[in-house]
């Protein structure tokens, strides 16, 4: 790329334009200090500079206005080292998720010397352990992130996705998720027969007191969506999409997300939820879309549990 030295322009020119300017400069060099030609040379210089700047601006605008190709906008340059993907996930699962999410209630019962915790105590204990898991997960991700990146960028939109509306992705994703989940449950009921609802414990906690209800809402509608979306979509899906196509990345991350709940009966439903959340994140490039869908879906389930 050739850059004109005399006169100096704000951006590079194409070779034909550069050659033309050199020829003109050679012919006008003897006249530079002539008072009769100084004004005309300045006018010529201004016109040529304006045309070159206008041409560069047009080129930049054309590049900026090019539409995003493909469904996913996740970049190949990820904030974490790809070699540390599975070791980081193992640290999260065995040091945070399983001990706090599934062993925390046993620890609380032992510490309070109560074989069976009261509903309000269960709700408050779950709230404490979920906050600890969220804090631990964010700390783990911040310690393994590349030095030039910031963990807060995880919750910001990707550069390529600025023209995609994450609110639209949230609305469409939530509607599609509800349709898929309830259709799957209806088909399962027709094929295998209806099963008794297993939300009796959750309903008892929600109806025991206002404190229990508030704690349950905080856990299921705010803390759990933040933790799971940061880990399974923000970290796991982003890292997988850097080396695999986005469809395989969504399927693998959704399968791990579903298996992490340790529920055989709900595996298919959780897998569908993970796929919808993953697709929403891939298309919007904004983790807020999957967090909103996750939070609103859990809110809907809590309302249905109370009213059932």
Yes or no: say if 11 and 53 are a contact pair by the CB < 8 Å rule: yes
Six-digit token string for 92:
């999260």
Q: Given the structure tokens 């020119």, which residue do they identify?
A: 13
**Higher-scoring residue by pLDDT: 172, 16:** 172
User: pTM of the full predicted structure?
Assistant: 0.76
pLDDT at 278 over 70: yes
pLDDT tens for residues 222-270?
Answer: 999 999 999 999 999 999 999 999 999 999 999 999 999 999 989 999 9
* Residue among 226, 238, 242, 237 at smallest CA distance from 275: 237
Where are any strands of DSSP class E within 194-259? Answer: none
d(CA 276, CA 184) in angstroms, rounded, equals 14
State phi, psi for 58 to the nearest 5 degrees: -65, -40
pLDDT value, residue 161 = 61
In this predicted structure, the answer to whether residue 125 has a pLDDT above a threshold of 60 is yes
Q: Among residues of the chain, what percentage have pLDDT more than 90?
A: 56
Cβ neighbours of residue 47 under 8 Å, at least 6 residues apart? none
Q: Indicate left, alpha or beta for 67 from its phi (over 0: left) and psi (-120 to 50: alpha).
A: beta
Joined together, the tokens standing for residue 240 give 């997988």
- The residue with tokens 């030609």 is 37
Residue 68, pLDDT > 90, answer no
């Amino acid at each position: 790329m050739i850059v004109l030295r005399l006169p100096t322009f704000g951006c590079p020119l194409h070779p034909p334009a550069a050659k033309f300017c050199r020829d003109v400069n050679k012919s006008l060099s003897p006249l530079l200090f002539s008072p009769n030609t100084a004004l005309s040379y300045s006018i010529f210089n201004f016109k040529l500079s304006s045309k070159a700047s206008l041409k560069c601006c047009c080129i930049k605008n054309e590049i900026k206005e090019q539409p995003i190709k493909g469904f996913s906008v996740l970049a190949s340059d990820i904030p974490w080292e790809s070699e540390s993907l599975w070791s980081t996930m193992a640290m999260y699962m065995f040091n945070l998720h399983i001990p706090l999410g599934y062993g925390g209630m046993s620890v609380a019962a032992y510490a309070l010397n109560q074989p069976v915790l009261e509903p309000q105590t269960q709700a408050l204990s779950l709230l404490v352990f979920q906050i600890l898991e969220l804090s631990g997960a964010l700390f783990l991700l911040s310690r393994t992130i590349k030095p030039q990146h910031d963990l807060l960028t995880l919750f910001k939109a990707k550069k390529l996705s600025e023209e995609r509306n994450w609110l639209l992705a949230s609305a469409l994703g939530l509607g599609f998720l509800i349709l898929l989940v309830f259709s799957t449950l209806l088909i399962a009921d027709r094929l295998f027969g209806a099963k008794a609802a297993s939300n009796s414990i959750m309903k008892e906690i929600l109806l025991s007191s206002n404190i229990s209800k508030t704690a349950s809402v905080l856990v299921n509608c705010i803390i759990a969506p933040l933790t799971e979306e940061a880990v399974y979509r923000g970290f796991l899906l982003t890292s997988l999409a850097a080396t695999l196509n986005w469809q395989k990345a969504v399927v693998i991350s959704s399968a791990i997300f579903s298996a992490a709940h340790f529920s055989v009966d709900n595996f298919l439903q959780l897998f569908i939820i993970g796929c919808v959340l993953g697709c929403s994140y891939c298309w919007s490039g904004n983790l807020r879309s999957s967090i909103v869908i996750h939070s609103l879906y859990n809110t809907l389930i809590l309302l249905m549990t109370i009213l059932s």
